[in-house]
Amino acid sequence: MVWNWLLSGSSPAPARRTVKWLVSLGGLHGPKLVMMDVLRLGERLPSRPGVFLYAAHNERHWTCLFVGETKDLRSRSGSHECLPEALLLGATHVHYVIMSDKGERLATAERLIFMHGPVLNAIEGPGLNELVQQGVPVMAGQDLSEQPTITLAHG
């Protein structure tokens, strides 16, 4: 009963939030999507293998900023070397899907990168100064004078 949680002082479990990301346009059965769970940056991810992405949320859509795969979502996604740059580019959430098979993780991550072109997955990619010069919006008030080159990394 709805009133039970009000009287007990506990709140109901929060609804699980998921988002579908396109991983392939074609095939015998049409477009292929992967369903990913969504957490705010800083929330605790499971200690399981999977694929994750840092995303910025703008009014009606998500922007994929970085895609990675790892054998431990909790330890890798919260300490990834590109997280500071993702934050500067407006990342607000981490999306993830649990996948045990490394080959499946790599293939899914590569397809997500191909389909969504996240700016932080560029191989020998530009640093933030070059991204700003190309017109990529960065949060105001940040010193971009000494940013490292961004590289693709697997966990």
* Integer Cα distance of 114 and 112 in angstroms: 5
Contacts of residue 30, Cβ cutoff 8 Å, sequence gap at least 6: none
**Phi then psi for 96, rounded to 5 degrees?**
-150, 155
* pTM for the full predicted model: 0.70
- In the chain the domains, ranked by start, together with CATH numbers, are 15-133 (3.40.1440.10)
Return the residue matching tokens 């939030």. Answer: 17
Q: In what order do the strands lie in the sheet with 61-70?
A: 18-24, 32-40, 93-98, 50-58, 61-70
In SS3 terms, the chain reads as CHHHHHHHCCCCCCCCCEEEEEEECCCCCCCEEEEEEEEECCCCCCCCCEEEEEEEEECCEEEEEEEEEECCHHHHHCCCCCHHHHHHCCCCEEEEEECCCHHHHHHHHHHHHHHHCCHHHCCCCCCHHHHHHCCCCCCCCCCCCCCCCCCCCCC
Tens place of pLDDT per residue across the chain (155 aa): 333 333 344 444 456 799 999 998 877 788 899 999 999 998 999 999 999 999 999 888 999 999 999 999 998 766 778 889 999 999 999 999 999 999 999 999 999 999 999 999 975 455 555 555 666 655 443 444 444 344 444 55
What does the pLDDT read at residue 15? 60
